[in-house]
Amino acid sequence: MKILKQIIFILSLTAAFTAQSQVKVSVKIGTAPNWGPVGYTDVQYYYLPDIEVYYDINTNMFIYLYNGVWIRRTYLPYRYRNYDLYGGYKVVLNHYHGYYPYGHFRNHRHRYGKGYRGRYQRNIGTRPGKVKPPSKPTRQVPKPTPHPMPKPTPRPVPKPSPRPLSKPTPRPKQNPPVKLKSPVHHIEKQGHGGRKPGGGHGGKH
């Protein structure tokens, strides 16, 4: 009889453990919004310290105080309708998976006051209407374009103009000298034929 009771007790413990394991496995984590921080997968709640609002990832709802009562809505309260979810800081509640995160609101408000900023956060997606920046932005400095130095234009060296060779001026031809007949010889010839010198006057009268 005791052995039967022990077997029933062991079976009951096994059934309870199996049921508890199934409950744990059935906890489903929803899809984080684009404005959520990168690097967190097993998370259910964000706390937004700037506006003191919780966000439930599983239901995609905001949880905030309204007239002293915590309510769940798919939108922010009217006074925070223009709040920048992409630029605001999100405190990730890693260790809470219950249904009432605001049960620790006093502790959260004291620890993460308005304007709180922790370590750097990068959003999962991009702001609507903007292009996602590269993961590792690199600043490229444009290289200065080298301006080619103008080559000096060589100055043309004037070639010396060849001097024209002067032709020798031909000398005028000289006429041969004219031989003049001496009148003295002519007279002498006439004297020898007729009269002797000095004898013309020696004849007889």
What is the pLDDT confidence band of residue 205, given thresholds at 50, 70 and 90?
very low
Q: What angle do CA 166, 170, 172 make, to 5 degrees?
A: 155
Whole-model pTM: value is 0.51
Mean pLDDT (the chain, rounded): 77
Residues pairing with 45 in the sheet: 56, 93
More confident residue, 78 or 140: 78
How confident is the model over 47-91, as pLDDT tens digits? 999 999 999 999 999 999 999 999 999 999 999 999 999 999 999
Is pLDDT of 197 > 90? no
What H or E segment, with its residue span, contains residue 48? strand 45-48
Q: Report DSSP state, residue 165.
A: P
3-class SS shares of the chain: helix, strand, coil, % to 5: 25, 10, 65
Is pLDDT of 22 > 50? no
